[in-house]
Structure 1
Amino acid sequence: MIKIAPSILSADFANLERDIGRIASADYVHVDVMDGLFVPNITIGIPVVASIRKVTQMPLDVHLMIVEPVRYVEQFCDAGADLVTVHVESDTPEKIQEALDKIHAKGKRGGIVLKPGTPAEAALPYLEQVELILVMTVEPGFGGQKFMADQMEKVSTLRKWIDEKNPACELEVDGGVSPETCGTCIAAGANVLVAGSAVYKAEDIPARIAQLRG
């Protein structure tokens, strides 16, 4: 089944509990953490994740767009993240490995993220140990960007490798996912779709979530 992970970046932060309740038919709450260094924007941090954890039983899919994520992964796990993903571009391979090891030591699921300019091969050192690989279909850092269809070849390549080496691993796409692009993502092999504005700007959010499942 295709899973949907609405991004709360598009929610009303003054009414975050309410807006998380509105996506109850989805599979994950996608939490975008930005530090103003790895990406230009600054969003939310550990205290907000801890607050979200108190108001929902949904799995929290925490996407760290921060430099040197190994410094903070344990704190995000302790705050209530169920799945923590780190960008392969955000530190040395050794430090990315250390971050994944720390996530797993906390009993949580770990994953890696590839920016649009990063080739699929960058996932290979981690492919057999992660629970999720996230392919960015926009440049990370801002919501509401246009979907980059040229990333679908990367998704298809990763799907082939996942099926061969780690079939339990999920393959997630984030950026510009909408009713118009979800079918393309699913056809390429993604099984988890992150959507922000496409969900939160819909008149009927449960219907939109069902529509995105394809």
Structure 2
Amino acid sequence: MTKTEEQVCGWCGTDPLYRRYHDEEWGVPCADDRILFEFLILESAQAGLNWLTVLRKREGYRAAFANFNAKKVAGFDEQKIEALLLDPGIVRNRKKVESAVSNARLFLEIQREYGSFARYMWGFLDDTPQQNQWESLAQVPATTPLSDAISKDMKKRGFRFFGSTICYAHLQALGFVNDHLLQCFRHRECTELGQAFIPPWKQ
């Protein structure tokens, strides 16, 4: 059944790629480190750009960044970085590409410290997705005390291109918070997924 515009969050518009992302991925609680690393790269690349622009380059990023394998990306050298800057399939911004590599190394450090990056992230929420009750897009914040705390800790660890605004987008995308509007058909579905969510380290 095709959902009417009144039944979905207005930000996804009518673009088929954007709608599929909204309908199938956005807001689903995630504890998979590979996916968390993928969005760490994509969200960082999005800084200053439209998210749809990055979504359209997602497969380009998948190919360029070793299927989002953090260990492989952490091993990228200067020669590889120079090659990536010639790749039209990604956002060719030197600082963003360099930060993707340095962030990968820090990602691995957190994995070693916590057992997984997911466990580190979910620890800020006591392993429980936050269920919000927004009625309009105007109510949805760009940052929260939660995103402030996480981005501050990550900045202290050396992460780049992951300020509070990008961090909150990351939390929304990966279901740490459910920011689907109440009238959106996915609000109820993601609420149920959140209620059933049990991270691997608690199973």
Task: Flag the structure with larger Rg.
Answer: 2
Please give the TM-score of this superposition, normalised by the length of structure 2.
0.30
TM-score by length of 1: 0.29
Name the structure with the higher strand share. 1
Which structure has more relative contact order (CA 8 Å, sep 6+)? It is 2
More helix by share: 2
